[in-house]
Amino acid sequence: MMGTRTAIAEAEGKLGVLLVGLGAVSSTFIAGVELLKKGIGQPIGSLTQLGTIRLGKRTDKRTPRIRDFVPLADLDALVFGAWDIFPDNAYQAAVRARVVEPALLDRVQPELEAVKPWPAVFSRDYVKRLDGPHVKVGAHKLDLADQLMADIHAFRAATGVSRMVMVWCGSTESFLRPGAVHASLADFENGLRANDAAIAPSMIYAYAALSLGIPFANGAPNLTVDVPALIELAERKHVPICGKDFKTGQTLMKTIIAPGLKARLLGLTGWFSTNILGNRDGEVLDEPSSFKTKEESKLSVLDVILQEEIYPELYKDYVHRVNIHYYPPRGDNKEGWDNIDIFGWLGYPMQIKINFLCRDSILAAPLVLDLALLLDLAQRAGMKGIQEWLSFYFKSPQTAPGLYPEHDLFIQLMKLKNTLRFLRGEELITHLGLEYYD
Ligand SMILES: NC(=O)c1ccc[n+]([C@@H]2O[C@H](COP(=O)([O-])OP(=O)(O)OC[C@H]3O[C@@H](n4cnc5c(N)ncnc54)[C@H](O)[C@@H]3O)[C@@H](O)[C@H]2O)c1
């Protein structure tokens, strides 16, 4: 049965994409979009650009591209702004990151050089391995938030964008648990004025974005917008938010394979994951307090997928280990190894080995694009608060308080596509399929 179509404002005018952190992921994302605008390359890995959506019955043969089904901003309409603790423009950042080859970067050099970061809100208390000269100074954290808002106003005036989204692509901050200052918006605003130590820089960016009605996505595992105070602000301002931690590399593989093992009721005694990474992200994650934030994010996925409490014969007490080693020679080209100890019929043990030679930022860039476009769509469709349907993109999906996140990539994809069908008043797809045999 068809539902009602949600009114969605058209994607008119330019969309400003505000990136916090102009490092490997951000520069690879911007370079890719600028190349695509010139017809160079393909948007591989992007659901909004290449994905399709099946509508109605299989016999109907209606499978439009997602971007033709819902009104998304065109790549040509994207304009970029960024903050970083280093003053390098996007071209210099991309050269430094050594992800996209120089010959390709040169084709979009002027466009990349035009993206010059604003001074950052930064504190070494939250990222111990980094220090940079390009930072804001303020009387207190509310003053810093005001300075970010001033950057955003100036960006809007200079570029004429009609809408904006903000994506955190900055370094992973130290591990933080939600505390009293995050409990409500009033507590948080008092904390901003009082320079409360539990308000991390990423939260100040999120506060600035949400206060101006700008949707926010968090690509790193830091708490950031996943605290009651900022969820309250998002609800009040009618702004969509989502996070945390882009799902790429080893964890992406985990959430592809674990649902398959569970589907066939194969048991697990242990999953050992290790990898070597040589970019700046690897350097930051080499420090225990930043790694702790990442580790929590990486460890949670298997527990939720395997449901040990429902399948004790298969998944009780399995051992899960995750390591990241900073190894400069590899740069952004991460190499990951997984050893998976499984068991089958009558408990006979078997092993699976995965050796993934991946490219971190190449896997992350299309996620930044999709999140920017889908958050903008959500905003125009009047959706606000936590956008659980965007779990597909995250290692630690943000969900309503008390609700466990869905980690299975295929359930996440179904959730995302059904949300789009729902917005367009199309029948949701259950895969029941009995009607074909009546
Ligand atoms: N690439 C992936 O596959 C992947 C997957 C999941 C999560 N992430 C996360 O995405 C983030 C970006 O990754 P990357 O490889 O681009 O790292 P990167 O180190 O190359 O870039 C991060 C940039 O953020 C800047 N920065 C740090 N704190 C800042 C602040 N407070 N304000 C403004 N700028 C700040 C740094 O100077 C740096 O240029 C990291 O947190 C990483 O953990 C990446």
Stated pTM of the model: 0.96
d(CA 171, ligand 1 centre) in Å: 4
Which of 341, 357, 373 finishes a domain?
Answer: 357
Examine residue 293 and state whether it is found in any structural domain, yes or no.
Answer: yes
The verdict on the CB of residue 24 being under 6 Å from ligand 1 is yes
Find the 132 Cα to ligand 1 centroid distance in Å: 14
Distance CA(297)–CA(251), nearest Å, equals 9
Both 71 and 153 in a single domain? yes
If you ran DSSP here, which 8-state letter would residue 181 be given? G
User: What pLDDT does 286 receive?
Assistant: 87
Q: Is residue 436 in a domain?
A: no
Pocket test for ligand 1, best of 20, 22, 25, 168 (most atoms within 8 A of CB): 25
* CB proximity list for 351: less than 8 A, separation 6 or greater: 339, 340, 341, 342
Q: In this structure, are 114 and 177 located in the same domain? A: yes
User: Nearest-5° angle of CA 334, CA 407, CA 246?
Assistant: 40
Residues 214 and 271 in one domain: no
Q: Which CATH number belongs to the domain containing residue 90 in this structure? A: 3.40.50.720
Residue 9 covered by a domain: no
Within 10 angstroms of residue 84's Cβ, the number of other Cβ atoms is: 28
- Same domain (yes/no): 317, 215: no
Classify burial at 260, counting beta carbons within 10 Å of its beta carbon; exposed 0-12, middle 13-18, buried 19 or more: exposed
219 and 340 belong to one structural domain? no
239 and 253 assigned to the same domain: no
What is the C-alpha end-to-end distance of the chain, expressed in Å?
Answer: 17
Spatial CA neighbour of 369 closest among 233, 219, 237, 227? 219
The finding on whether 86 has its CB within 6 A of some atom of ligand 1 is yes
C-beta of 394 in contact with ligand 1 (< 6 A): no
Q: Write the CA distances from 181 to 173, 211, 270, integer angstroms.
A: 18, 18, 39
Q: Ligand 1: does its nearest atom lie under 6 Å from the Cβ of 21?
A: yes
Same domain, 71 and 26: yes
Mark whether 228 and 368 lie in a shared domain: yes
2 inside domain: no
Q: Are residues 232 and 263 in the same domain?
A: no
Ligand 1 pocket, 83 CB below 6 A? yes
Both structure tokens of 349: 């043990």
Q: Is 127 in the pocket of ligand 1 (CB under 6 A)?
A: yes
Q: Please, are residues 334 and 274 in contact by the beta-carbon 8 Å criterion?
A: no
320: containing domain: 249-357
Alpha carbon distance 342, 348 (integer Å) = 8
- Examine the domain organization and report whether 164 and 293 are in the same domain: no
In-domain check, residue 90? yes
- Residue 78 is predicted with a pLDDT of 98
Signed CA dihedral, 46, 49, 52, 55: sign only:
positive
pLDDT of 281 reads 87
The rounded distance, in Å, linking the Cα atoms of 151 and 162 is 16
Q: Which of 311, 339, 357 corresponds to the end of one domain? A: 357
Rounded to whole angstroms, the Cα distance separating 387 from 377 reads 12
Clarify whether residues 32 and 87 are in a common domain: yes
Encoding tokens for residue 355? 């050796």
| 310 in a structural domain | yes
Beta-strand relationship, 78-84 and 118-119:
parallel
Last residue of a domain, one of 357, 376, 397: 357
Q: For residue 74, what are its two tokens?
A: 């065109």
Spatial CB neighbours of 368, under 8 Å, sequence gap ≥ 6: 17, 19, 25, 26, 29, 167, 169, 219, 246
Closest to 281 in 3D by CA, of 299, 294, 297: 294
Report the number of distinct structural domains present in the chain: 2
pLDDT along the chain (438 residues), means of 10: 86 98 98 98 98 93 96 98 98 97 98 98 93 96 98 98 98 94 98 97 98 98 97 98 96 95 98 93 88 85 94 96 93 94 98 96 98 98 98 96 92 96 93 78
With CA atoms as reference, report the closest residue to 386 among 185, 215, 181, 214.
215
Residues 124 and 231 in one domain: yes
What are φ and ψ of residue 408, in 5° steps?
-65, 120
Residue 428 falls inside a structural domain: no
Residue nearest to atom 17 of ligand 1 (CA): 281
The total of other beta-carbon atoms located within 10 Å of residue 296's CB is 15
Yes or no: say if 172 and 220 are a contact pair by the CB < 8 Å rule: yes
Determine if ligand 1 sits within 6 Å of the CB of residue 136. no
Q: How many residues does the chain have?
A: 438
DSSP state of 394: B
